[in-house]
């Protein structure tokens, strides 16, 4: 197990410089990047939206419940929801979901191309396939994942509002006062750092899993599952590390 992880880690480290080498044709890379942005960004919008609405609503309701009986001002709920969302919920939950959706898709797509010898065919043409298949996806993730996370954070707060105010838990004024209280823009920076790191992690892990798939449809399924599982573990691990480093 440890030996296998070390093997993968070593191969991964050797692989990265090839991804980052100079593109042979900027136009093709640009076109591919645009396609990936559309697929990763627009393609994930709906699920991110839905999940964020509910996460926001649940956070608000849960906190309102937990705080009953304490002598804490009620508007604090808005404040707690905001910071919870920014620091933890929006980046982490969104990226765990994206690892499932985008990550498995990337691994299956590249893995399928590898198995059907499309990758070999490109190599023979002289294409640097490590770069051509990974770099556009990496750029797309670097751009789109933080955007999706920002959207998620806003939608979550709207969800919190919709989940608590109409049911009469507190008034609209109280909630909004809470949202605006003690605002620290550093939390937004933290959110963006997390989104960026998680995006890179889930993209590279999934691309690696697809690119080095073995033959057979069982292996293709395995690599796409592995992509999700390993991305999730590494996202949570880096979540912890970022929390330690940035607070």
Residues that bind other proteins (CB under 8 A): 18, 24-25, 27-28, 113, 116-118, 120-121, 123-128
CB 5 to other proteins: min, Å: 22
Task: Give the DSSP letter of residue 22.
Answer: P
CB 13 to other proteins: min, Å: 16
Of 3 and 27, the one with the shorter C-beta distance to other proteins is 27
The neighbour count for residue 147, using CB atoms within 10 Å, is 15
Q: Sign of the C-alpha dihedral, residues 209, 213, 217, 219?
A: negative
Q: Contact, 56 vs 155, CB < 8 A? A: yes
CB 36 to other proteins: min, Å: 13
Q: Which residues contact 82 (CB under 8 A, 6 or more apart)?
A: 157, 178, 179, 183
Q: Report which of 141, 60, 162 is spatially closest to residue 99, judged by C-alpha positions.
A: 141
Of 24 and 173, the one with the shorter C-beta distance to other proteins is 24
CB 132 to other proteins: min, Å: 8
Q: Is 160 exposed, middle or buried (0-12, 13-18, 19+ CB in 10 A)?
A: buried
Of 38 and 117, the one with the shorter C-beta distance to other proteins is 117
CB 4 to other proteins: min, Å: 18
């Amino acid at each position: 197990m440890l030996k296998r992880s070390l093997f993968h880690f070593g191969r991964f480290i050797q692989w990265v410089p090839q991804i980052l080498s100079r593109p042979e044709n900027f136009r093709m890379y640009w076109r591919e990047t645009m396609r990936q942005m559309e697929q990763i960004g627009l393609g994930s919008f709906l699920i991110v939206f839905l999940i964020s609405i509910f996460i926001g609503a649940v956070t608000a309701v849960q906190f309102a419940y937990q705080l009953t009986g304490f002598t804490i001002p009620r508007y604090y709920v808005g404040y707690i929801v905001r910071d919870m969302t920014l620091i933890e919920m929006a980046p982490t939950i969104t990226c765990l979901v994206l690892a499932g959706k985008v990550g498995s898709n990337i691994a299956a797509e590249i893995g399928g191309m590898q198995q059907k010898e499309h990758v070999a065919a490109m190599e023979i043409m002289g294409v640097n396939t490590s770069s051509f298949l990974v770099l556009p996806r990496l750029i797309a993730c670097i751009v789109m994942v933080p955007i999706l996370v920002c959207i998620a954070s806003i939608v979550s707060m709207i969800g919190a509002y919709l989940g608590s105010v109409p049911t009469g838990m507190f008034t609209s004024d109280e909630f909004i006062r809470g949202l605006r209280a003690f605002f620290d823009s550093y939390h937004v920076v933290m959110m963006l750092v997390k989104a960026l790191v998680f995006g890179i992690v889930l993209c590279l892990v999934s691309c690696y899993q697809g690119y080095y798939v073995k033959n057979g449809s069982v292996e293709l399924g395995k690599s796409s599952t592995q992509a999700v599982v390993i991305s999730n573990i590494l996202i949570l691990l880096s979540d912890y590390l970022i929390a330690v480093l940035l607070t």
